[in-house]
Amino acid sequence: MKRKLLFGERMLLGDGTEAFNAVIPFRLRGSFTEKEIQHALNQIQAKHPWLRAIISYDENNIPWFEVPEPTLPIPIRTVNRISEDDWKGESAKEWQTLFNYEEMPLIRFVWIKGEEVSDMLFAFHHCLCDGGSAMAFLYEFLQILDHPSAEIGQENPILGIQDVVPSEILNHKGQKLKAKLIGRLAATAIKCIPVRKKAVEREKDYLIHWKLNEETSRELISYCKSQEVTVNTFLSAAVLHAFKKVRGEAAFNKVSCPVDIRRFAPQIKDDHIFAFGLMIVVSVNDKMSFTENLRWMQETVERKTSKLNPYITMMVMESAHDALKNFTRLLKNGKSSNDCMFSNLGRIQIPHQYKEFTLETIFSPSVIGPLGNTTTMVTSTFRGEMDFSFMGSEGYLPHSQALAIRDEVMKTIKLQLDPIAVL
């Protein structure tokens, strides 16, 4: 089984010399053996062909996902658990470790082994899948780890754009012409945009992690409902406010927010191993108060989201493979135009209590890659607690400023939930 990488996947893959890795850490209370862990990993590989895949190149140097025979198992790296923060250091190590993807799968596993509590990490190349896909195979891994003979089904994998874009759109002459025209115009424009000769020196990467307790998380969700805005909009506003407060004129007043393609393309199932995403950019209006901004931003988000068209977007990108080099150069060497990427995975619907162990927490995923500004904030909610991972690099956002931004985000949350206590 094999398929060509789509434009976005090729962009994330790069040339193999720079890592673009995502990490999902989680904490289990219980005892395990490596044999049990390897069995669970083997079973999720058996369900998902692309978890077995390597990258091969054809005569035109085009990369393909290819499933080799026999199956190459997901490698396990075991380290002794010394402290509760070991997962942060191991996450950072995994960001930097290249995948030998022509000979090994694009996914690996880290077991931070303790006597009663273990932290575990799935690390995978971002070209393989997104956070939604990763949560699906994490859920399946835990099912098998708890019950080795559990049935998790079989994925019918996406084999190309034809499995996502309906044939009546993909083969429509007018739509094909439109996609090709937009692709050519974009390719020409990208080629003409001036960029630096060298990319910004990234310097040291870092991870800042924190949680809201269950009570505060519940109050925040209730507050957002009362304001008729999403938690995503509220947190985007809080992040933008924090960047402005900390960075002043250096702030861009722009946050990029991924939008799950599954909302618009039902062909992509929750358990599909797939990496393509959609994006919108949000800003605040400096002339409005925070609460006024929330409603204005919510309207903006809904308007922009309603205009997203995953099918045409994919067709445009697939018509522009010859522009990949220039597009990658623009992302790497172009001037940064947004403060950060902000992604809210929402409530993680994975059980926490199992027969053989307890899933104490899932830490929000982290990801760092070479395509420009690395500043990223990811949040998720598990067992009622909102969890934040804030990644960055000193060359783009100094660690001291990132800490100050975290503090400002927390101040904004506290101010909106408990104004009397703050004032």
Separation of alpha carbons 288 and 352, rounded Å: 42
| Contact present, 216 and 383 (Cβ < 8 Å) | no
Q: Which residues contact 23 (CB under 8 A, 6 or more apart)?
A: 91, 94, 95, 121, 122, 123, 365, 366, 367
Cβ density class 39-52: b for 16+ within 10 Å, e for less: ebbebbbebbbbbb
Q: What is the pLDDT of residue 205?
A: 97
Radius of gyration of the chain (CA): 22
> Mind listing the pLDDT tens digit of every residue in the chain (423 residues)?
999 999 999 999 999 899 999 999 999 999 999 999 999 999 999 999 999 999 999 999 999 999 999 999 999 999 999 999 999 999 999 999 999 999 999 999 999 999 999 999 999 999 999 999 999 999 999 999 999 999 999 999 999 999 999 999 999 999 999 999 998 998 888 888 878 878 889 999 999 999 999 999 999 999 999 999 999 999 999 999 999 999 999 999 999 999 988 889 999 999 999 998 899 999 999 999 999 999 999 999 999 999 999 999 999 999 999 999 988 988 888 888 899 999 999 999 999 999 999 999 999 999 999 999 999 999 999 999 999 999 999 999 999 999 999 999 999 999 999 864 443
Residues 117/28, Cβ–Cβ less than 8 Å: yes
For residues 369 and 126, the answer to whether their CB atoms sit within 8 Å is: yes
φ and ψ at residue 105, rounded to 5 degrees:
-60, 165
Assessment of whether the complete model's pTM goes beyond 0.85: yes
Crossing angle of helices 214-227/399-417, nearest 10°? 70
Longest Cα separation, the chain:
68
First-last CA distance in the chain: 62
Beta bridge mates, 76: 109
> pLDDT value at position 190?
84
Question: Quick one: DSSP state of residue 360?
Answer: E
φ, ψ for residue 331 (rounded to 5)? -65, -40
Q: With left for phi above 0 and alpha for psi between -120 and 50, is residue 351 left, alpha or beta?
A: beta
Residues ≥6 apart with Cβ < 8 Å to 245? 408
Residue 352 and residue 358 in contact, taking contact as beta carbons nearer than 8 Å: yes
How is 283-343 classified by DSSP, letter by letter?
Answer: ---TTS-HHHHHHHHHHHHHHHHHT--HHHHHHHHHTTGGGHHHHHHHHHHSPP-SSEEEE
Instruction: For each of the domains in the chain, give its residue range(s) and CATH number, in order of start.
Output: 2-146 (3.30.559.10), 202-307+334-422 (3.30.559.30)
* The pLDDT of residue 422: 44
CA nearest to 375, candidates 232, 205, 248: 205
Rounded Cα–Cα distance for residues 368 and 123 (Å): 12
Sort 394 into a burial class: Cβ within 10 Å, 0-12 / 13-18 / 19+. Answer: middle
Which residue, chain included where needed, has tokens 């978890």? 51
Question: Burial letters for 307-333: b for 16+ Cβ neighbours within 10 Å, e otherwise?
Answer: eeebbebbbbbbbbbebeebbbbbbbb
CA distance 256 to 3: 29
Dig out the tokens for 303 from the structure.
Answer: 């308007």
Burial of 351 (0-12, 13-18, 19+ CB in 10 A): exposed
